[in-house]
Amino acid sequence: MKSKTIKTLRLLGLGFIEPLIRLIGGEEQQKNLRLFFKQALLPLISILLFILIWHGGARALYNSEASARIEKARVEQGEAAAKEMESCIASGDISCQPNTLPSPVQVYHAYIALWKDHLEISRKKEEFRDKVAETNEQRAEQGLSEITYTGRPSFLDQIGTSLKTVAAGFLLAMFIAVPIGIIIGLSDSLRTSFNWLIQIFKPVSPVVWLLLVFMVVKTMITDPSMDKSFIISFISVGLCAMWATLVNTSMGVSNVDKDYINVAKVLKLNIGQNIFKIILPASLPLIFTGLRITVSVAWMVLIAIELLAQSPGLGSFVWEEFQNGANDSNAKIIVAMFVIGIIGFLLDRIMLSVQSFMTFNKTTA
Amino acid sequence: MTLLELKGVSKSFGTGSSKIDVLSDINLKVEDGEFLAIVGFSGSGKTTLINLINGLLFPDEGEVLLHGKPVTGPGPDRGVIFQNYSLLPWLSVYSNIKLAVDEVFPKLSKKEREQHIRKYIEMVNLTPAIDKKPLELSGGMRQRVSVARALAMNPEILLMDEPLSALDALTRGTLQEEIIKIWSVDKKTAVLITNDVDEGILMADRIVPLTPGPNATMGPEFKVGFERPRDVTEINQDPVYKRLRNDILEYLMDVGATRRQVSDRKYILPDIQPVMPGRIRFGRKRKEEQVKYF
Ligand SMILES: Nc1ncnc2c1ncn2[C@@H]1O[C@H](COP(=O)(O)OP(=O)(O)OP(=O)(O)O)[C@@H](O)[C@H]1O
Ligand SMILES: [Mg+2]
C-alpha cells in the first residue's frame, strides 16, 4: 500500500512528500527526517523569506511614493495641502492612495475579492438560468437557440477560457507537428529541404503569428456566429508552440536505434508496421519531451496573445485590470500572475508525469 | 547440396585514411543441414560476416549466395540472434516474440500462435518473466529472449552471433542442448559465431576459425566428427576431442602471435606459463576475466 502511494506521488511529481510518508511509517527515522527537512521544509522557508522580502519592498515603495506625493502637494499647493495629503494617505482613503507594488496582504485581499466576485457571478448565473428555464424550453421546441447568460465573466471563468484555448492550441500543435515530424524524420532529403523553414519560423514572435493568423482567419471566416477571437488565439498559440514537437519528433524518428531497425528489416515489416510497431514507440520518449515543451510554450504565449487578440481569458483580464486602474487593480494583476505561474507549473507537472510514464529507458516506468 | 556460399567476399568500412578493411577474400560454403561454427578474435569481423549473410550489409567485392542466388536483403528465412540481443524495450518478453511470430506465421490462428510463443518462452525458462520488459531482465535473460525469438521464427538458416556469451555455464549447457535439439528435429542449417572452442566442438559439424583483423579471412576448417546426440561428459573424455581442441587452440594462438608481430603495438605479457585451463574463451573480454592469453 505504502509503496504504491509513494509511486503515485512520484508520478504526480509530489515526491517531496515521500520522506514524510516513510517517516510516519517508521522507516529509518533519522534519514527520512533529514530528507523531509531538505525536500519540504527548506522550500517552505524560502517561500516565507520571499514573502518577507516582498513585504519589505512593497512597504518601502509605498513609503517613497507617499512622501513624493506629500512633497509634490507642498511644492505646488503649500504646507496646508501637504498636511491634508498626509492625513488623507494615513486614513486609507482610496482617492489618494499611492499606486505602486501591492503588498502580500493586499494581494491576499484581492484574491478573496476575486473569489467572492466569482461566487456572486455564479449565483447570478444560477438565478438567470432559473429565470429563463421556461423560455428556453419553449425556444427549444421552436428550434431556436438558448438564451445564455451574457454578463461579465468571473476570474475563474477567465481561467477556464484560457485553459480551453491552450488545450485547443496544444491539440492543434500536436496534430500538425507529430505527423509532419514523423514524415520529415523518415526521409533525409525531406529533412534537409524543410530544415530552413523550421529554422526560420521557429524563432518568430507570437505577436507576428497572431497578426498572420488574423489576416487569414479574418478573410476566411465570414460566419458571424463563430467565435473569431477564440479561433484566432488558439491557432496562433498552436503555431507558436508546435516547433518544439516538430523538431523533437523528427529527431526521434530519424535517430531510432539501429538495432530496432535491424529487427524490422529481418522481420521484413511493411512500412506501416515499421512506423507503428518500431519507429513510433522508439521515438515516443522524444516526442513527449517535445510535447512537454510545447505545452509550456503554449501557456506562455497564450497570455500575450489573449492580451493582443482581445479574446477573453487571463491575458485580457490582466490587460483590463491594468487599464482599469482601480484601487486593487495592481493586486489583482499580481494574483493573476501567481495563478498563471501555478497553472503553468501544474501543466508542466502533468506533462512530466505523462512523459515519465512513456519513457521506457527507466526501470521505474 | 550447398545452401549458402560466400565467394571472395571483402568488406571495408569508411573511406580514405580512416578506411578499415575488415574482411578480405572470404570463401565459405555451408551445406544444407550443416551446423557450422566460426571462432575468432574480438573485433576480427565476426558480426560483420553474420550481417553479410543475413543481408543487413552487402559485400564490397565478391558475392553471398543463398540457394545459388545473391542475397538482396534481410528476411525472416534467416533468423538472427543478434549479439546485442536487439530486443524492443517497450515490448514485454511475450510481445517481443509475438512480433516475430505474427510476421512469420500469419496463417496460424490466434490460439496456435499463442501456444507457439509460449512453447518457446518455456523452452528458454522464461515463463515467470513472460510479462516483463527487457530492461527488467538480466543480461542472460535478455539473451534467452533473443534466442527464443529467433528459434520461434523457425528459419531456414539460424544465424547466431555469440548467442550464449552472457550466460552462466549451467544455462549455457541447457540452451546448447535446446538449440541442438531444435536444429536436429528438421535439420535446419545453422551458423554459430562463438568465442568458446568447446561450445563449437560440442555443437558444430565443422569449425572454421576467422583470422584476426584487419583483412580477416577464413582459416583452415576443422571437422568435428562426433556422433550425435553428443554427450558432454563422454566427449570430454574422448582423446580425439582433446586433440581437436588443442589443434584449434594452437592454430588460434599461432595466428594470434602473428597478429602481435604484425601490429606495432607492444603487449606486456604476464610472466606466467599458461596451464591449459578447462575452457578458454576467445574474443570478448569480460570484466571478471581480465587474464589475457593473447
Ligand atoms: N558500421 C561500422 N562502421 C565502421 N566500422 C565498423 C562498423 N562495423 C564494424 N566495424 C569495424 O569492423 C571491425 C569488426 O567488427 P565486428 O563487430 O564485426 O567484430 P566482431 O568480430 O563481431 O567482434 P566481437 O567479438 O567483439 O563482437 C571492428 O574493427 C569495427 O571497428
Ligand atoms: Mg561481434
B158 φ, ψ to 5°? -100, 120
User: Which amino acid is residue A206, in one-letter code?
Assistant: P
Residues of chain B positioned with their CB less than 8 A from the CB of A364: none
Average pLDDT, chain A: 85
- pLDDT for the residue numbered A364: 38
Confidence label for B291 from pLDDT (cuts 50, 70 and 90): very low
- pLDDT for the residue numbered A103: 87
Higher local confidence (pLDDT), B185 or B137: B137
Residue A364 touches partner B, C-beta closer than 8 Å: no
Residue B33 neighbours by CB under 8 Å, 6+ apart: B3, B187, B188, B189
Confidence label for B29 from pLDDT (cuts 50, 70 and 90): very high
Region A211-225: mean pLDDT is 84
Residues A130 and A197 occupy one common structural domain:
no
B76/chain A closest Cα distance in angstroms: 5
- pLDDT for the residue numbered A49: 94
Q: Which of B80, B84, B91 sits opposite A266 (nearest CB)?
A: B80
Residues A135 and A203 occupy one common structural domain:
no
Query: Among the atoms of ligand 1, which is closest to the Cα of residue B216?
Result: 14
Q: Which of B81, B90, B104 to mutate to test the interface with A (most CBs of A within 10 A)?
A: B90
SS3 label, residue A75:
helix
Q: What DSSP designation does A362 have?
A: S
Residues of chain A positioned with their CB less than 8 A from the CB of B71: none
Residues of chain B positioned with their CB less than 8 A from the CB of A285: none
- pLDDT for the residue numbered A95: 73
- With CA atoms as reference, the chain B residue closest to A259 would be B86
Q: Which of B74, B78, B88 sits opposite A260 (nearest CB)?
A: B88
Residue A185 counted as domain residue: yes
Residue A365 counted as domain residue: no
pLDDT of A40 over the 90 cut: no
For residue B44, the ligand closest to its alpha carbon is 1
For residue B19, the ligand closest to its alpha carbon is 1
pLDDT of B262 over the 80 cut: no
Q: Which three cell numbers stand for residue A63?
A: 513609503
Residues of chain B positioned with their CB less than 8 A from the CB of A267: 76, 99-100, 103-104
Q: How far is the CA of B121 from the centre of ligand 2 (A)?
A: 25
Per-residue buried b or exposed e for B108-147, using 16+ beta carbons within 10 Å of the residue's own CB: eeeeebeebbeebbebbebeebbeebbeebeeebbbbbbb
Region A1-15: mean pLDDT is 71
Residues A165 and A212 occupy one common structural domain:
yes
Residues A220 and A341 occupy one common structural domain:
yes
Residues A113 and A87 occupy one common structural domain:
no
Number of structural domains in chain A: 3
Average pLDDT, chain B: 85
DSSP string, chain B: -EEEEEEEEEEEES-GGG-EEEEEEEEEEEETT-EEEEEE-TTSSHHHHHHHHHTSS--SEEEEEETTEE--S--TTEEEE-TT----TTS-HHHHHHHHHHHH-TTS-HHHHHHHHHHHHHHTT-GGGTT--GGGS-HHHHHHHHHHHHHHT--SEEEEESTTTTS-HHHHHHHHHHHHHHHHHTT-EEEEEESBHHHHHHH-SEEEEEPPSSSB-B---EE----SS--HHHHHH-HHHHHHHHHHHHHHHHHHHHHHHHS----PPPS-PPP--S--B-SS--TT------
Please report, rounded to a whole number, the percentage of residues in chain B having pLDDT higher than 70. 87
pLDDT of A250 over the 50 cut: yes
Q: Look at residues A49, A70, A91 and tell me which one is the last residue of a structural domain.
A: A91
Residues A230 and A352 occupy one common structural domain:
yes
B4/chain A closest Cα distance in angstroms: 17
Residues A221 and A246 occupy one common structural domain:
yes
Region A280-292: mean pLDDT is 91
Please report, rounded to a whole number, the percentage of residues in chain A having pLDDT higher than 90. 33
What's the rounded Cα separation, in Å, for the pair B220 and B123? 35
Query: What is each CA distance from A39 to A20, A29, A342, in whole angstroms?
Result: 10, 15, 19
Q: pLDDT tens, A323-353?
A: 887 778 888 899 999 999 999 999 998 888 8
Q: pLDDT tens, B193-235?
A: 998 899 999 999 999 999 887 888 898 999 998 888 888 888 8
- pLDDT for the residue numbered A363: 41
Residues A191 and A124 occupy one common structural domain:
no
Residues of chain B positioned with their CB less than 8 A from the CB of A263: 82, 86, 88, 99
Q: Which of A262, A266, A278 sits opposite B76 (nearest CB)?
A: A266
Residues A162 and A147 occupy one common structural domain:
no
Domain with A147, as residue range(s), is 102-152
Q: pLDDT tens, B52-90?
A: 999 999 999 999 999 999 999 998 889 899 988 899 999
* Angle at CA of residue B120, ends B118 and B122, nearest 5°: 70
Report the Cα A116 to chain-centroid distance in Å. 23
Region B245-256: mean pLDDT is 89
What's the rounded Cα separation, in Å, for the pair B84 and B46? 13
Report the Cα A245 to chain-centroid distance in Å. 18
Q: Look at residues A91, A122, A141 and tell me which one is the last residue of a structural domain.
A: A91
B9/chain A closest Cα distance in angstroms: 21
Residue A158 counted as domain residue: yes
DSSP string, A259-304: HHHHHHHHHT--HHHIIIIIIHHHHHHHHHHHHHHHHHHHHHHHHH
Mean pLDDT: which of A121-130, B21-30, B138-147, B226-235 is highest? B21-30
Q: Which of B89, B90, B93 is nearest to B149 (CA)?
A: B93
- pLDDT for the residue numbered A127: 86
Mean pLDDT: which of A26-30, B18-22, B265-269 is highest? B18-22
Region A233-238: mean pLDDT is 92
Higher local confidence (pLDDT), B18 or A225: B18
Cβ–Cβ < 8 Å for A303, A315? yes
Q: Look at residues A115, A137, A152 and tell me which one is the last residue of a structural domain.
A: A152
Identify the CATH number of the domain in which residue A176 sits: 1.10.3720.10
Q: For the purposes of burial, counting CB atoms within 10 Å of the CB of B294, is it exposed (0-12), middle (13-18) or buried (19 or more)?
A: middle
* Residue whose CA lies nearest to ligand 1 atom number 1: B13
Residue A347 counted as domain residue: yes
Q: How far is the CA of A333 from the centre of ligand 1 (A)?
A: 63
Interface of B with A (CB under 8 A): 54-56, 73-76, 78-80, 82, 84, 86, 88-91, 99-100, 103-104, 133, 135-136
B192 φ, ψ to 5°? -115, 125
Structural domains of chain B sorted by starting position, each given as residue range(s) with its CATH number in brackets: 33-43+71-77+155-263 (3.40.50)
Residue A363 counted as domain residue: no
Residues of chain A positioned with their CB less than 8 A from the CB of B103: 267-269
Q: List B65's β-bridge partners, or say none.
A: B5, B70
Query: How many C-alpha atoms does A335 have within 13 Å on its Cβ side?
Result: 22
Per-residue buried b or exposed e for A313-341, using 16+ beta carbons within 10 Å of the residue's own CB: bbbbbbbbbeeeeeebbbbbbbbbeebbe
Residue A196 counted as domain residue: yes
Please report, rounded to a whole number, the percentage of residues in chain A having pLDDT higher than 70. 96
Q: List B69's β-bridge partners, or say none.
A: B66
| Cβ < 6 A, ligand 1 pocket | B 13-14, 20, 22, 40, 42-48, 83, 213, 283-284
Residues A50 and A115 occupy one common structural domain:
no
Q: pLDDT tens, A123-144?
A: 888 888 888 888 878 888 887 7
- pLDDT for the residue numbered A34: 82
Q: What DSSP designation does A12 have?
A: H
- With CA atoms as reference, the chain A residue closest to B55 would be A266
pLDDT of B9 over the 80 cut: yes
For residue B42, the ligand closest to its alpha carbon is 1
Question: How many residues in chain B?
Answer: 294
pLDDT of B37 over the 50 cut: yes
* Residue whose CA lies nearest to ligand 1 atom number 23: B43
Q: How far is the CA of B88 from the centre of ligand 2 (A)?
A: 19
* Helical packing angle, A280-309 and A329-358, nearest 10°: 170
Cβ–Cβ < 8 Å for B217, B25? yes
Higher local confidence (pLDDT), A254 or A22: A254
* Angle at CA of residue B15, ends B13 and B20, nearest 5°: 40
Residues A208 and A290 occupy one common structural domain:
yes
Region A186-214: mean pLDDT is 89
Residue A118 counted as domain residue: yes
Region B171-191: mean pLDDT is 83
Number of other residues whose CB lies within 10 A of the CB of residue B180: 18
Q: How far is the CA of B163 from the centre of ligand 2 (A)?
A: 10
Confidence label for B292 from pLDDT (cuts 50, 70 and 90): very low
Residues A135 and A284 occupy one common structural domain:
no
Residue A338 counted as domain residue: yes
